[in-house]
Amino acid sequence: MSGVTSAERSVLVIGANGGIGRAVVDRLTADGWSVTGTDLPEVDLSRGGVVAEHVARLWSRQGGFDALVHAAGVFPAAPVVESDEELFDRVMAVNTRSALSAGTEFVRRCRAEGRPGTLLFVSSGAAARARLGTAVYAASKAALDALVRGIALEHGRDGIRCCAVAPGFVDVRSAVNPVPRAYVDALTQASVRGRVGRPGDIAAVLCWLLGPDAGWVNGRTVPVDGGDGVGTLTAPNWLS
Catalytic residue of the set 98, 137, 140, 191: 137
Q: Where are the beta strands (DSSP E) in the chain?
A: 10-14, 34-38, 67-70, 117-122, 160-167, 221-224
pLDDT band, residue 180 (cuts 50/70/90): confident
Selected catalytic residue, list 83, 101, 123, 191:
123
Question: Does residue 124 carry a catalytic annotation?
Answer: yes
User: Does residue 123 have an active-site annotation?
Assistant: yes
Nearest to 15 by CA among 129, 102, 89, 107: 102
**Confidence band for 62, pLDDT divided at 50, 70 and 90:** very high
Q: What is the pTM of this model?
A: 0.93
DSSP 8-state symbol, 82: G
Q: Is 141 a catalytic residue?
A: yes
Selected catalytic residue, list 101, 124, 140, 191: 124
In the annotation, is 183 catalytic? Answer: no
**pLDDT score, position 6:** 47
pLDDT at 1: 42
pLDDT at 178 (0 to 100): 76
- What domains are there in the chain, each with its CATH number? 6-216 (3.40.50.720)
> What number is the average pLDDT over the span 175-204?
90
Percent of the chain with pLDDT over 90: 86
Give helix then strand counts, H and E, for the chain.
Answer: 7, 6
